[in-house]
Structure 1
Amino acid sequence: MNKTIASAALTAAAALAPVAALAEGHYVPGVEGIQAASVPPPGLYYLGYLVNYDIGSFRAPGSSSNLPGHNTGTVTALANRVVWISNTKLLGADYGMEAIVPVMRTSLTVNAAGISDSRSGVGDIYVGPLVLGWHGQQWDAVAAAGIWLDNASTSHPASPGKGFKSTMLTGGATYHFDAAKTVTGSALMRFERNGRNDAGFRPGNQITMEWGLGKNFGTVQAGLVGYSQWQVSDDSGAGASTHRSSRHAVGAEVVYPIPSAAVFLKAAAYKEVRAEAGTGAYPKGSLVRFTIVKSF
């Protein structure tokens, strides 16, 4: 990397380190997998997502090349999600609401920007007043809308907050290839329209696509999962460029139900196969997720 590129990488990494730990927007890809677009029947549900994202490298701004030097990080988060699905019908769908409260621990070592920082705290909270779930004979579909707040701290590079609000729209479908619903395919899309931070910088809007192909093996379900995430509009404000970030990952998931406790246990592992940075430094790594779903 020549001196000009290295200098630009340093500046961008230092400026955007607080938001570089997971992505440009709020939504973390890889938290949903097999049958991701299937909304449960009416009831109250708790979903706990324990996620560990191991950052093996940071991409230099505007490229798929690594920043120079030793640059790594780890983000461990427990996203606490509560979903309520009512008996009310809206547009032929079951109507519900949801909220997500993430608790995070982030450690960053970005020698290219002189950063070494670790922080823990409550992340930005998501409030979703609209969840719609449709159910056909061999298909399910979902649509949802909500807002990511900017309640969390942004005072240090590894602070859990993004520093801006985001509006998130969701849509997706699950298809069961047989009447017994033993083989399924699903795709779930999230669109985030990001707001501006206090410095006047606005990250570009982002689309995340998560997919899964699953098969039942007795009571256990297993299959392939993956995600892709694209920045679909340019950043704006001081230091913005026309470069757009993206990432792509593949992995596997296992789902184990415990009917007597009304619980589902899920485990998944992803490996990012490609990542390209936008305006600032961008991570590339691997993700491991454990999920518990409990109905009440």
Structure 2
Amino acid sequence: MKSINRLLLALLTLAAPLSALAANGHYVPGIEATGGAFLPPAPGLYYRAYLVHYDITDVVDPSGDTLPGSNSGSVSALANRFVWVSGRKFLGADYGVETIIPVQRTTLNFKGLGVDSSESGVGDVYLGPVVLGWHGSQWDAVFAAGVWLDTAEHDARDPASIGRGHHTTMLTLGGAWHFDEQRRWSVSALSRYEIKGEQDDTHITPGDSWLVEWALTHRLESGLEVALAGFDAWQLEADSGTPSNDKLERHAAGIELGYGWRELGMELRGAVYHEYSTRAGSSGVQPEGNLFRLALTKAF
């Protein structure tokens, strides 16, 4: 009973790992997969809507063991991403800028921990002044840099809090290799490195984290794309300002389907991921479950 009380206290005072879908950071692993390893080459404005639902089935400890009791919940989000490709070149790459505005609802019903909380609102906003895309006949590459702003409401006492309570600098590097000139078979990887700031109310600085989204994709004669996809996320440094050295990890695999309508400038992709391995960070607890995602892209 004492161990459960300690976990509950840690959960309430270090709510950041539960305040979003992200692995100890702002970015949601699994949100891009096959669509994130390149920047569209044609100049113009692109809008991508990500509809994401994370179904929490368990809560685990730093050893990856499931905590006792009925612990369930969900996080649903609509992330609105706007990308403008300028038509100009920098270092041989197409240059663009982007912003992401998420709207989120979190519901936690952790009976085993005595937590019952729900929150809704606009999440922390991302501003990316640098997006670079390189393109070859059988390859694509992307680099980006930007900042997640501390714009959303954050309450360290509420594990369902929408905001993270700190800003984050995010660096992106990714690429795709197409095995044939028709690009029927492709392998891609997209990595995000997050450098976090200090939470004003707790004076805790979450440790840097790194994640990789990967996919093996095949495009059928009909134009339908089928992919084996997944993500792996690691917290590389322990949180400063806490006595714990535990670092969060998340690993998942799943499938993705995608189809595009070139004449309409639209593309739709859907994916489902199952988290098969999770370890909690300094809070002592971390949700584990399944991720469902739809991404609609429209070119203007």
TM above 0.5, yes or no, is yes
Distance 1:285 1:196 in 2: 28
Q: Which residue of 2 aligns with 1:241?
A: 244
Q: Which residue of 2 aligns with 1:164?
A: 166
Q: Which residue of 2 aligns with 1:77?
A: 77
Deviation at 1:126, TM superposition (A): 0.4
Task: Decide which of 255, 280, 287 is 1:283's aligned counterpart.
Answer: 287
- With over 3 angstroms needed to count, the CA separation of the structure-2 counterparts of 1:134 and 1:249, relative to structure 1, is same
8 Å CA contact retained: 1:36, 1:174: no
Deviation at 1:131, TM superposition (A): 0.2
Distance 1:16 1:10 in 2: 10
Query: Secondary structure of 1:207's match?
Result: strand
Q: Which residue of 1 aligns with 2:178?
A: 176
Q: TM-score if structure 2 supplies the norm length?
A: 0.94
8 Å CA contact retained: 2:59, 2:66: yes
Deviation at 1:35, TM superposition (A): 4.6
Distance 2:40 2:248 in 1: 33
Query: Secondary structure of 1:157's match?
Result: coil
The percent identity for this pair of structures is: 47
Gaps of 5+ in 2: none
Distance 1:129 1:251 in 2: 32
Distance 1:257 1:240 in 2: 50
Query: Secondary structure of 2:11's match?
Result: helix
The residue correspondences of 1:72-151 to structure 2 (distance < 5 A) are 72-151=72-151
Q: Which residue of 2 aligns with 1:49?
A: 50
- With over 3 angstroms needed to count, the CA separation of the structure-2 counterparts of 1:157 and 1:140, relative to structure 1, is same
Structure 1 segments of 4+ aligned residues over 6 angstroms from their partners: none
Distance 1:157 1:182 in 2: 44
Q: TM-score if structure 1 supplies the norm length?
A: 0.95
Q: Deviations over 1:160-213 (max 9, x none)?
A: 101010000000110000011111100000000111101101111110100011
Query: Secondary structure of 2:6's match?
Result: helix
Distance 2:208 2:10 in 1: 18
- Kindly report the root-mean-square deviation, in angstroms, between the aligned alpha carbons of the 2 structures: 1.3
Partner AA of 1:165 in structure 2: H
Partner AA of 1:257 in structure 2: G
Query: Secondary structure of 2:12's match?
Result: helix
Distance 2:114 2:154 in 1: 18
Q: Which residue of 2 aligns with 1:265?
A: 268
Gaps of 5+ in 1: none
8 Å CA contact retained: 1:10, 1:112: no
Q: Which residue of 1 aligns with 2:9?
A: 11
